[in-house]
Amino acid sequence: MKAELSGASLMPLLRQILNVQREFRDLVIAELPLRKKTSTIQNYILECERILFSPRLFREICIRLASLMASHNRETDFITLIFSLEDSTLEALATTVQSCLEPDLVAAMEIAVRELRLHKLSPLDPSLLAEFFLAAIVPFYTAYARQQAPVGEDWYRGWCPVCGQYPVNGYNRPGDGRRILGCWMCETEWSFSRLTCPICSSNQEGQLMLFLEEDPLRRLQVCDDCGYYVKITDCTQAQTGCDLQLENAETVFLDILAQRKGYRPASHPHRLTREMR
Amino acid sequence: MKITRREFFKLTGLAALAAAVVGCDWDKDPVISYPLVDAKEVTTICPYCSCGCGAICYVVNGKLVSVSGDPDHPINEGALCSKGASLLNLNTVYNLRTHSPETNPNRLTKVLYRAPYSKVWEKKNWRWAMDRIARRVKETRDATFESQEKGVIVNRTLAIAHLGSAALDNEENYLLAKLMRSLGIVNLDHHARL
Amino acid sequence: MTNHWIDYQHSDVIMAIGVNTAENHPMSMRWIDRARERGAKLISIDPRLTRTAAVADLWLPLRPGTDIALLGGLINYTIEKELYQREYIVNYTNAAYILDSGYFFADGIFSGYAEGSYNRDTWSYELDTEGNPRKDPSLQHPRCVFQVLKDHYARYDAETVCKIVGCSREDFELVASTYCATGAPDKAGNILYAMGITQSTHGSQNVRATAVLQLLLGNIGIPGGGVNAQRGEANVQGSTDMAMLYHILPGYLNMPQGMDHPTLADYNAKETPASSYWSNKPKFLISMLKAWWGEKATPENDFCYQWLPKLDGKNHSHIAIFEAMARGEIQGMFVWGQNPAVGGPQAELERKALENLDWMVAVDLFETETASFWRRPKADPASIKTEVFLLPAAASYEKDGSVSNSGRWIQWRHKAIEPPGEAKSDLWIADQLYKALRYHYSLGGVFPDPILGLNWDYGQGEEEPDIEKVALEINGYEIENHKPLENFTKLAADGSTACGCWIYSGYYNDLEDPPAKRRIREQKGIGTHADWAFAWPLNRRILYNRCSSDPSGKPWNPKVPLVFWEGGEWRMNDVPDFAWKDNPPENTAQSPFIMLPELQARLFSPGMADGPLPEHYEPAESPVHNVLSSQQNNPVITWWQGLGKLATREDFPYIGTTYRVSEHWQSGIMTRNSPWLAEMAPEMFVEISVQLAEKLGISNGSQVFVSTPRGEIKAVAYVTRRLKPMQVDGKLVEIVGMPWHWGYRGLFPGDSANVLTPHVGDPNTTIPEYKAFLCNIRRA
């Protein structure tokens, strides 16, 4: 399958990173359990709530991830940096990300990295550092989401109920074909209308969907009203749904093709949409 | 087109990080030159019983590929019965020999005409058929039109009947109700009477 | 339907009578099962152990055509055991009305009977000095509706009912105690019905009997209640609303009758009641005339009222049309998406009648038996004069348009693909037909005015008509600026508004965001889904919903409040069906039925052709005598000439009944041409009991002939325990059941059950009696 050309070589490392993240997600839940809040969600939960954070666990995740990176490429050395950081720096990193969560997570992390002058402590590129720390902080979000995300049909909007991010991909679930969207950040999944654009809420009746002939079940749902796209995998006839994180990586070819056509992914959070439009 | 790694993190989450570590050059990815297939999803309502179940037609390059239950429809929530699940067949069937999809060979695709006392159907075009039908309707109507009955204006013909149809859309039925009454047709009935 | 599919989830007891809902409306089971998850019970009343009966909590086998006996028994049980909801019936129905002293009922005949029809003068209320009906809210007056009802149904005691119906006393008691318990104010009983109820020589009274029972139990206008007619076709609700019936104009306005309505003034005077919402009728008719004839319709010419054809006081329904055709009185026929050669009663008579036509225009997806009647088996084309045009139509997803489901939801269907070949939408065909007619009449002809004057501008030349223009015309618009009307409350009788079908007004009132196209699911609520499509009238999902609360406005069932009075205002989960604005409960408590002149429901109805109260009669052909009176059949049946001799019990000892299977639809023309479905149910069959099979030496899977005086068919015998002989008044009665989907065209041809059925119908509607006739069966 041609699709493998874009991304297949990443998959072994990607799976390992995911495994680490999910292992730590469970650790975070065990160490920092939360009671389920029942109040009605306005825009999204983390708009007015904070995740629970542990510098110790954060350091441990960083070490695990760093050694993983090093095992794949000796030149990507994050370990030295991590050992040089105080707990207070790690805490500051988390706080900075949270306090400017809304505009753009990757940007927020980059700002945090620069503010804490971490890039001065490491030869690595600041944006790569930001991506690394973001990967390391994800388990705190996924742990939070796992405990607080609404279940069933309580949520029926285009963005993530927990962290407010718009989805970059989703799937039609096995059996009834209901659309499940996933948050690329906190891994929350929720169901949404199949014929509505999650980003701008416009009706997608008869709207364009694109796919490669060799891989007809992985489709781009593009919206000509707002210019964004979402990647959708049709699992209607499958036995199980899909791991949206892995699927996201495996369908990188669709991102390339969508961008070639001038569509954009919607990885910004909900609150910004109006201003951006 | 240049895709930066930073953009890529937004698209693919961890993939960008992994890509940086493993070393992956998206810009040279050959996928960029592959052609894309156009598809669309269009909702419909099942034409069989009156539950009013929703279905989604999946259309690829203008051809119907599947009709499946609309999961968002509040009545059927994605499920369909045996008839609803075979809606595809009204337009498309699978050829028994080649197993490839084709237009249902039993569908009428041309106007068919049977002349009086003839043993066969003949294919005709629409323009000819409409003109001929209009002439026949006019002939019958004009020969049997009743303007008055016992001094009351009645403006009707009892010699033309019209049946149908619960299989037509509201807008179609409305136009027919309007047209047939304007011709003075009163022998007008349909399925609802059966 | 008074309610809608999703609302079934609120029922406590569901009684499916004369409807095999699991088979013929499969998705209903989704919502019945939701109710059952909460502990609701499902009762199936059907001659066969159908797929519905198989999963029901209770199954009562009933002899075809005896529904009134059973429902009358339930009415009697309800009254006798005082299970009725007194406060409900005193306020919301005419139970307290005192009847005219001339009304009586004796030995199966109501007052006013003479020579095959009724003079209904005595089926009326006693009036006080001001001309208002006299009432006795204590329900004690011997001539009040409640007491008359009680006396009438006292004859329907359990023993008599079981004797007629052929069920056991035990089954009857179980059904009665289960269903009639829904008379408790906070319980909802739901009656579902379909053709098992309507296809009878007393079909309308069957329906009335369900309504009377539901009213007594306080089950109308409440969530989970209602009288829910499960209609058989995707848009049979819509085609009825659009008046594809001889006796009405769109929106249920009566067709003008020559003798009664010579002028618009006569029509308005005779057709407009002083009270009820129908007092607005002139607005509806005049707006329709403006939609049809536009600028030509002026106050000076009575808005072209005279351009409407007028009826001659006679029946012009399906059976009557074919009787007239058989007599040679009809020369031309249009038939759109309908197949009477398979679906009509006494099919051979109807097929033969088609030979008398000079021309026929058939419009369909596939070649129907009707269009090819001239080459049916045993016909000689060389002797058939008919000129036939068979026009290829687009399928539902090959065009745009709306359909109305059984719950009155008008839902839009979008065009997904182009029709194959030269197939065209029916809208296009209608538009082209009109244009061709307009051309020929522009050259002259008899009274061309209504045709040439028709307000018809939906598209140029041979392009697809603009369906939005049609939708806007149906919805209604202001003449002055063509702006869509919000809904029918904006209609006027002065010619300033146009509206093609008043009850649909509102369905397309916003061209940017038409309600019929809306697809917003309800997230929290009682399943009303108000922003999903549009339900006529006014997007109201449950009719008569004032009845969901008690006279003081408190919901009978606080768990599912619908429209209720709280904190000095009306609160609502649905569009109220009463004059609620600035009107506290005490002002609305006695007017919950706004379409009736009484503003209250009719337990006793003066409007029927065959009696103000449902009374049991035997079907036209029956193996037994009527136990309840010496009146064997409905006394006002029309015995059509084409019917010929009725089957005798001696020669045709078995009850024949027809029904459908899940894999086929109606006359089968769509499903018999769909390979997946045709393969699943390829062959015509008849079902008989094991006992009958043994008696006649018929083995399962063998070929048999089934016959009636109308004809004979061949089919595969299906010997089954789903049918059992019944004890009817001491006599053992066998039933022969058969689906009616087959004909001589399609992938798998087969004989048509309707060759056997009789040309006889209900006196109110003329719906044929397909469900109960006499037949014989033998080995082939």
Task: Fill in the amino acid letter for A61.
Answer: I
- CATH class entry, domain C318-442: alpha beta
pLDDT (tens digit per residue) in C272-312: 999 999 999 999 999 999 999 999 999 999 999 999 999 99
Kindly state whether residues B153 and B167 are assigned to the same domain: yes
Burial class (CB in 10 A: 0-12, 13-18, 19+), C129: exposed
Q: Of A41, A156, A192, which to mutate for an interface test with C (greatest number of C Cβ within 10 Å)?
A: A156
Work out how many domains chain A is built from and give that number.
Answer: 2
- Verify that A112 and A192 share a domain, yes or no: no
CA atoms within 13 A on the CB side of A147: 21
Query: Averaged over C466-481, what is the pLDDT?
Result: 98
Clarify whether residues A86 and A100 are in a common domain.
yes
- Under the banding of pLDDT at 50, 70 and 90, the label for residue A232 is very high
Q: Which CATH number fits domain C641-779: 3.20.20.60, 2.40.40.20, 2.60.200.20, 3.30.70.20?
A: 2.40.40.20
Mean pLDDT of chain C: 97
Task: Evaluate whether B155 touches C458 at the Cβ level (below 8 Å).
Answer: no
Which of A133, A148, A163 lies at the terminal end of a domain, its last residue? A148
Structural domain total, chain B: 4
A211 shares its domain with A237: yes
- The parent domain of residue B97 ranges over 39-103
> Which of B148, B174, B183 to mutate against chain C (most C CBs within 10 Å)?
B174
Q: Cα–Cα distance between C146 and C75 in angstroms, integer?
A: 11
- Class of residue C710 by CB neighbours under 10 A (exposed 0-12, middle 13-18, buried 19+): buried
B178 and B135 housed in the same domain? no
Calculate how close chain C gets to A203, using CA atoms only, in Å: 9
Chain C's closest residue to A195, CA to CA, is C519
For residue A273, is pLDDT > 80?
Answer: no
B59: domain CATH number? 3.30.200.210
Q: Is the pLDDT of residue C721 over 60?
A: yes
Contact with chain B for residue C418, Cβ under 8 A: yes
Give the Cα separation of B189 and C467 in Å (integer): 24
Q: Domain ends where: A148, A165, A193?
A: A148
At residue A6, does pLDDT exceed 80? no
Same domain, A140 and A183: no
In this predicted structure, the answer to whether residue A272 has a pLDDT above a threshold of 50 is no
Determine, for residues A257 and B32 on separate chains, whether the beta-carbon distance falls below 8 Å: yes
Same domain, A75 and A132: yes
A236 shares contact with chain B (CB less than 8 Å): yes
- Within 13 A of A225's CA, how many CA atoms are on the CB side? 13
Same domain as A165, residue A138 = no
Note whether C521 contacts A203, CB cutoff 8 Å: no
Is the pLDDT confidence value at A271 over 60?
Answer: no
Name residue, tokens 């098992």.
C196
* B contacts of C431 (beta carbons < 8 Å): 175
Q: Which residues of A40-63 are buried (b: 16+ CB within 10 A; e: fewer)?
A: ebeebbbbeeebebbbebbbbbbe
pLDDT digits (tens, 9 = 90+) for A193-219: 999 999 998 888 888 899 999 899 999
Q: Residues 47 to 66 of B: which have CB under 8 A from any C CB?
A: 47-54, 57, 59, 62-64
Residue C390 near residue C370, CB atoms below 8 Å: no
Q: What residues in C contact A193, CB-CB < 8 Å?
A: 519, 521
Q: How far is B110 from chain A (nearest CA, A)?
A: 28
Query: Are B136 and B192 contained in the same domain?
Result: no
**Residues A121 and A32 occupy one common structural domain:** yes
Residue boundaries of the structural domains of chain C: 5-229, 246-269+294-311, 318-442, 641-779
Q: In this complex, is the C-beta atom of A216 within 8 Å of any C-beta atom belonging to chain C?
A: no
- Output the CA–CA distances (angstroms, integers) from residue C100 to A30, B141, C89, C112, C133, in the order listed: 81, 48, 20, 12, 10
Tokens of C199: 């296809």
- B73 and B93 in a single domain? The answer is yes
Cβ of A193 within 8 Å of Cβ of C521? The answer is: yes
Which pLDDT value is given to residue C590? 95
Q: Is the pLDDT of residue C71 over 50?
A: yes
Per-residue buried b or exposed e for A114-152, using 16+ beta carbons within 10 Å of the residue's own CB:
eebebbeebebebbbbbbbbbbbbbbbbbbbbbbbbbee
Residue B26 contacts residue B53 (beta carbons within 8 Å): no
Cβ of C519 within 8 Å of Cβ of A195? The answer is: yes
Same domain, A30 and A134: yes
Least confident of A160-169, C469-478, C727-736: A160-169
Nearest-CB residue to C324 (from B67, B108, B187): B187
- Overall average pLDDT of the B27-42 stretch: 83
Residue C502's SS3 state is helix
Nearest CA in chain C to A196: C519
pLDDT-based confidence at A100, cuts 50/70/90?
low
Instruction: Test B140 with C239 for CB contact under 8 angstroms.
Output: no
Note which residues in 307-346 of chain C have CB less than 8 A from chain B. 307-312, 316-318, 320-321, 324-325, 329-338, 340, 343-345
Of B9, B21, B37, the CB nearest to A212: B37
Last residue of a domain, one of A97, A125, A148: A148
Count how many pairs of residues, chain A against chain B, have C-beta atoms within 8 Å.
Answer: 163
Band the pLDDT of B4: cuts 50, 70, 90. Answer: low
Does B30 score more than 90 pLDDT? no
Tens digits of residue pLDDT in B138-155: 999 999 999 999 999 999
- Residues C690-700 have a mean pLDDT of 98
**Cα C641 from Cα B188, distance rounded (Å):** 20
Of the candidates B81, B152, B173, which has its C-beta nearest C239's C-beta?
B173
Whether B44 and B73 share a structural domain: yes
**pLDDT tens string C760-769:** 999 999 999 9
Task: Please check whether residues A71 and A203 belong to one and the same domain.
Answer: no
Query: Average pLDDT in the C130-156 region?
Result: 98
Q: Choose the closest CB to A259 out of B3, B9, B20.
A: B3
Nearest by CB to A156, which of C414, C416, C521?
Answer: C521
Which of A151, A153, A178, A191 is the best substitution to test chain C (most C C-beta atoms within 10 A)? A153
B22 & B75 share domain: no
Using an 8 Å CB-CB cutoff, list chain B residues near A127. Answer: 5-6
Q: Which of B20-34, C307-321, C383-397, C445-459 has the lowest mean pLDDT?
A: B20-34
The Cα–Cα gap between B67 and B41 comes to 10
Give the whole-angstrom CA distance, residue C425 versus residue C421.
12
Write down which chains contact chain A via at least 3 CB pairs under 8 A: B, C
Query: What is the bridge-based pairing of β-strands C387-392 and C359-364?
Result: parallel
Domain range C5-229, its CATH number among 3.30.413.10, 3.40.228.10, 3.30.360.10, 3.90.1640.10: 3.40.228.10
Chains that touch C (3 or more CB pairs under 8 A): A, B
Q: CA nearest A226: which of A263, A177, A254, A189?
A: A263
Is residue B28's pLDDT more than 70?
A: no
Domain that holds residue A112: 2-148
Spatial separation of the C-alpha atoms in residues C120 and A58, rounded to whole Å: 88
Cross-chain residue pair B76–C767, CB shorter than 8 Å: no
Q: What whole-number distance in Å separates Cα of residue A145 and Cα of residue A21?
A: 14
pLDDT at res. A274 = 39
Chain B residues touching C747 at Cβ < 8 A:
106
CATH number of the domain residue A166 falls in:
3.90.1670.10
Q: Are residues A95 and A185 in the same domain?
A: no
Same domain assignment for residues A104 and A159:
no
Q: Answer yes or no: do B5 and B49 share one domain.
A: no
Least confident of A169-173, A210-214, C133-137, C347-351: A210-214
Averaged pLDDT for residues A184-201? 92
Which residue from C249, C310, C436 is facing B133, i.e. has the nearest CB?
C436
Q: How far is CA C317 from CA B13, B186, C58, C254, C327, in A?
A: 68, 10, 37, 14, 15
User: Are B155 and B186 found together in one domain?
Assistant: yes
DSSP assignments along chain B, one per residue: ----HHHHHHHHTHHHHHHHHHT--GGG-GGGGPPEEEEEEEEEE-SSSTT--EEEEEEETTEEEEEEE-TT-TTTTT---HHHHTGGGGTEEE-TTT--EEE-TTS--SEEEE-TT-SS-EEE-HHHHHHHHHHHHHHHHHHH-EEEETTEEEEEEEEEEEE--TTS-HHHHHHHHHHHHHTTEEEEE-GGG-
CA distance B190 to C237: 12
**Between helices B126-144 and C426-442, what is the axis angle to 10°?**
60
Which of C 747-776 lie inside 8 A of B, CB atoms? 747, 765-768, 770
Which one of B72, B103, B134 terminates a domain? B103
Is the minimum CB–CB distance between A179 and chain B shorter than 8 Å?
yes
- pLDDT-derived band at A277 (thresholds 50, 70, 90) equals very low
Residue A127 confidence (pLDDT): 81
Q: Sort out which chain B residues have CB atoms less than 8 A from A132's CB and list them.
A: 17
Where residue B1 falls among pLDDT bands split at 50, 70, 90? very low
Other beta carbons within 10 Å of B98: 8
The structure tokens listed for B10 are 């937004």
HEC profile for C252-283? Answer: CEECCECCCCCCHHHHHHHHCCCCCHHHHHHH
* A37-41, A156-160, C108-112, C526-530, range with the lowest pLDDT: A37-41
